[in-house]
Structure 1
Amino acid sequence: MDIKMIPPEDYCQVHQLRDYCFPNKYIGARREDFQYWIEHSITLGAYDGQKVVGQLLILPLNITVHGKSYAMGGIGFVATYPEYRQQGIIKKLMTAALLKMRENGQSVSVLAPFSVSFYRHFGWELFFEKLHYSIPKMLFPNFGKQLDVIKRMSFECRDNGLYRDIKDFHNLQALTRNGGMLRNNAWWQRIERRMPDSHLAAYFNSDNVAGYIRYTIYNEIFEIHDFIAEDLLAEQAIWRFVSSHAASVTSIKGITSSDHHFGFHFKEPQFKREVVQDVMIRIVDVLSFMQQYSWQEMQEPLYVRIEDSFCAWNEHIFKINKDGNVSIVETNSIPAMHMLALPINLFSAMMIGYLSVSEAVEYAHKQLTQELIERWQLAIPTEKPAFYEYF
């Protein structure tokens, strides 16, 4: 089985494999969008002769980790034909993908798993608890009457100036939110192709965007796909706008983070909520990742040994100096009591802020002194990540 980059003359086979293995066939704008990402991603294929029998795409994206934007490989459209399964094809594709991402400087990878245990085996780990909510009309948020400055547009009837302001606001906020993703024009075009009926509404404070939502209205359901506000006043103004649709919609649906005290300031916050875990993260290149990391308080150097059976370049002992400089230590003379040792999946979840140090150590079935746990916890920012993009 040959694993290689799929050339343009075989792109039609990528479409065929995707359409066969996924529940809905892409047509129209969605097919155009998929074609764009085939052309602009690292598109790997497993070949049986001239036939593409397995594939995955590595989308060139980014993720903000504690204030730093990292090049990120978004793994998507992983598939093999049924008659070729159980032959290790996906393992070969994933191994090749990790090497490609490292070569391209993508030190982090994110994917949406069809099986958590399957991708955990390759070093990815859950890192975000997404809260789906549904608010019936009788419980719509009520923040009183106030004349807010709201400007609205849709993809079908675009206001180019407003659209530019919203996109700029989104990226400014993404840089300040752990787990945020900067959206370039290509990503906004993807959203438009996949959800052409979207509306966007922005709240303005002193002539500047202070919050926005992207939403659709179908079958009397007001569904929110983006909701970003810079403060509580902006959030309340947007909720006033949403609730103003009460005459034409019967429920509000959306997603937020389970770590956010969602609905706490609503008069009636007792509505349906469901927590979903559908994204996983992996550090591809530990040295590169930690060299860029926003280290916090350190009184003395820290040491960590990484266990990573799929990325030999990560299987080292790393030293983090008080100034944040990170290097590989070529010795095993460091006493275990002075060193953190973790598998790559738990290390990844810990470094992005999803797991505390003590939780990562416990799940890894390791022994570590309380003093060292506390030193590591002081060195790592504590903000929980929130990642809402889908690919």
Structure 2
Amino acid sequence: MARAALTRLVEPGDAVVGRWLRGLGPVRLHRALTGAAAPPPGASTERLAGCALRAERLDPAADLAAVARLGGRFVCPGDLDWPRQLDDLEDGRPIGLWVRGTASLRLWALRSVALVGARACTDYGTHMASTLAAGLAERGWVVVSGAAHGVDAAAHRGALAAGGATIAVLASGVDTPYPRAHSALIQRMAEQGLVVTELPPGSHPTRFRFVLRNRVIAALTRGTVVVEAQYRSGSLVTARRAMALGRATMGVPGPATSALSAGVHELLRGEGVLVTDAAEVAEMIGGIGELAPARRGPLVARDALPPVTARVLDALSAQGGSEAREVARDAGTSRDEALRRLHELLALGFVERAGESWRLASGDGRNGVIRRGDP
């Protein structure tokens, strides 16, 4: 009850409050900030005056009842459902989390990844975010984002469309969907996934709260993927916070001429890892054996030839026949060796023989039977 009250008394992420909470405990700190006990050590007059104003409308029992009516709950550090990776934030960790949805927040967070990016994203950004989210959901990963316009919404929708799990971390109360245009999306996530916030019911978002919300996204997940971001972007704040916490930090590249990808490219020039699909993301954050498939160009038949045989094949003229002596000279080998290799190439269908003359097999002109394309 005291922690629920503190979420209305103070702003999220305040390290000073975190130190007081660690030293005094939630009940004593609640009493100290509401004037029922001596103020916390070092508390300024301004801070105490602000808490006094907020204390006038404190009713944690009503807040808990309001969230319960929505099918939600309040999760505290030490609860069975508390994601302990949030403790990496130390004194800046949440006082508690208001949660809508019936799934276990702790268990879902164990295998979660953040997908964040530009609000005013391009069609490419929307496509990449939704495709990545769907691919990760199909692999059993929980997609976490902030329910904002652009990349966030595309990531949530991609996971939901794939029948996957997704968590929205809000900068407002769980009963105050923001942006308003995403009310239906947030409601669907509350039914199929989870909606999480540090702020009590009825709270409205502010610019400062968006920034603080990003640290929760970074700490809650195994890694953060940025899909489109300008140089000045809240998504990059999330990525750098994830990096500082020792989480995997990834970025999806875009056109070099796009200002919306400039921030991602700067991230990739540092410690960020370039990813292009869900398999590569899973390889970065998954367990042993979750490897992305090897990527290589198309294979052609001549790729399997031994080096000397390939040189003999290259020595044949595409314009007409060549005698074995000429082939040996151009391939840098003996005539006997050239003949042996030419007969191998004949058996494989690369060359044809006409008397003493050798030429490339008809229908190709360069390297015989091509299996899957030609470099």
TM-score bracket for the superposition, by shorter chain length: under 0.3
* Structure with the larger RCO, 1 or 2 (CA within 8 Å, 6+ apart): 1
More strand by share: 1
More helix by share: 2
Q: Larger Cα Rg: Structure 1 or Structure 2?
A: 2
